Amino acid sequence: MLRNISLDLAPGEVVALLGPSGCGKTTLLRIAAGLLTATDGRMQIADRLVVDGSGFNATPEARGIGMVFQDYAIWPHLNVLDNVAFPLRMRKLGRSERETRALRALDRVGLRHLAGRFPGTLSGGQQQRVALARAIVAEPPLVLFDEPLSNLDRELREGLALEIGVLLRELGLSAIYVTHDQSEAFTIADRVAVMLGGEIAQIDTPERLFAAPASVQVAQFLNIGALLQGRICSTGGFSCDSGRLKLPGLAGSAPEGPAHVLIPRTAVRTAPEGPLMARVLRCQFQGDRYLLHLGLGGDSVSLVCPADRAVAPNSLIPLSIEPDRVRVFPN
């Protein structure tokens, strides 16, 4: 069930609905598409009322929107041109106008040269572009994406996410993009709405979501860094189950009392004269750098820190934590 949903899109803006399975993101998308009936609330698309809260729900075809499905929903027996022209055929447009507009849509996604090909001969990326061309052929005010890359392997998904983001901005489209993949959402969207338990827990730019998560739950879902539960002391220190952990610069950031402290990965760095000593639990090679998994306070507090070189497990290294990046959530 959806609760307290409020979402506005500016012309040409792309908003991603990001959240775990069952959080309500697909339900919200399908209500916007008219595939599910809303029992309450109001919705407008391009200043046109499509849901009024009294039982009126405009039909999908009356909303004039485009949609890209998870499996692309491309007809295998139709060539690329006829697939793209299909929505215009349903609107009873003449063949000449259908072909002209379909070719224009294919031009916009760079596939005019494949107009006579059949879907089975196309790559995954080309099929994705055909689905997008079909979604925009009628020049809709809004395009909805229902996890269109979820069935692809990670490498192809990352490349296509970048392509989709570039295309949406080049075409100036307004779009809602549903995904459970954080990297995909951050690559494609201008703003990301984190959905948890049927609500939008926070909506902001990707940069702001990481810099200022609105709650412990958002920080946990985004996996920004280490979340410690304990108590802010009058001296500005923080004590947790492992004992006293001195984090400089917390004085005045929150009242004395129970709290969660978020230490983002970007706040942790090795420093020759750092005030904290950590034990290296594991050193992970990532191609262009190393990732150190560290233990503090008898290893009861786990942190992650990037490094330029390998460090032997069980080594003790000095750490510095940037206080400006640490977030405190009073309980």
For residues 77 and 111, membership in a common domain is answered with: yes
User: Which residues have C-beta within 8 Å of that of residue 295, sequence separation ≥ 6?
Assistant: 278, 279, 281, 301, 302, 303
For residues 164 and 246, membership in a common domain is answered with: no
Pick from 163, 180, 211: which residue ends a domain? Answer: 211
Pick from 144, 179, 211: which residue ends a domain? Answer: 211
Pick from 155, 179, 211: which residue ends a domain? Answer: 211
Range of the domain at 190: 14-211
For residues 75 and 188, membership in a common domain is answered with: yes
144 alpha-carbon distance from chain centroid: 14
Look at residue 4 and tell me if it is in a domain: no
Give the three-state DSSP class for 317: strand
Scanning the structure block, which residue is given the tokens 């004085």? 251
User: Which residues have C-beta within 8 Å of that of residue 150, sequence separation ≥ 6?
Assistant: 70, 157, 179, 180, 181
For residues 191 and 65, membership in a common domain is answered with: yes
Distance CA 101, CA 96 (A): 9
User: Which residues have C-beta within 8 Å of that of residue 305, sequence separation ≥ 6?
Assistant: 265, 268, 269, 270, 278, 291, 292, 294, 319
153 HSE (CA, 13 A, CB side): 2
* pLDDT at 248 (0 to 100): 58
95 alpha-carbon distance from chain centroid: 39
Look at residue 75 and tell me if it is in a domain: yes
Query: What pTM value is reported for the model?
Result: 0.85
| Residues 28 and 103 sit within 8 Å (Cβ to Cβ) | no
* pLDDT at 236 (0 to 100): 64
For residues 200 and 230, membership in a common domain is answered with: no
| Residues 25 and 33 sit within 8 Å (Cβ to Cβ) | no
* pLDDT at 247 (0 to 100): 67
Distance CA 43, CA 34 (A): 11
* pLDDT at 132 (0 to 100): 86
Distance CA 312, CA 261 (A): 28
List per-residue pLDDT tens for the chain, 331 residues long: 788 899 999 999 999 999 998 999 999 999 999 999 888 889 999 888 999 877 788 888 888 888 888 777 788 999 999 999 988 888 888 999 999 999 999 988 889 999 999 998 998 778 888 988 998 888 888 999 998 888 777 777 888 888 888 888 888 889 999 999 999 999 999 999 999 999 999 999 999 999 899 999 999 999 998 888 888 777 666 777 555 566 656 656 667 788 888 988 888 888 888 788 889 999 999 888 899 999 876 666 788 888 888 999 999 999 888 878 888 898 8
For residues 203 and 240, membership in a common domain is answered with: no
